[in-house]
Structures are given as C-alpha cells and as structure tokens.
Amino acid sequence: MSNVKVNSIIGGYRHAVLFYGLSVLIPWLFWFGAGYVSHMENRENLVAVR
C-alpha cells in the first residue's frame, strides 16, 4: 500500500485515542467498583440483582 492510501485510511479514525481511553477506563472502573463492594463490611443496604 502506498503511504497516501494508508494515511487516508488512518485519517478516518478521528477519535482513536478517546475510544482506546474509554475502552480501558470503563472496565477498570467496574472492576474496582466490584472490588470495593465485595470488600465492604456492611452489605445489608445493597440491592441484590437477580
């Protein structure tokens, strides 16, 4: 492939850094949230999801 064609393809991804950042950040937030909830001493006030 020529450099011009590769650059035009790559140029189509306008928000690649935002996508990558969110795809890493969101699972980590859920992971740490689940870890926090699982280590809570008093879990009586939590709602159980069935």
pLDDT tens for each residue of 1-50? 566 777 777 777 778 889 999 999 999 999 999 998 888 877 676 666 76
pLDDT value of residue 1: 55
Could you tell me the two tokens for 11?
Answer: 């140029």
If you average pLDDT over every residue of the chain, what do you get?
81
For residue 18, what are the CA distances in angstroms to 12, 15, 24, 32, 42? 14, 5, 10, 21, 37
Contacts by 2-8, CB closer than 8 A, 24 or more apart: none
pLDDT value of residue 23: 95
Q: What is the pTM of this model?
A: 0.58
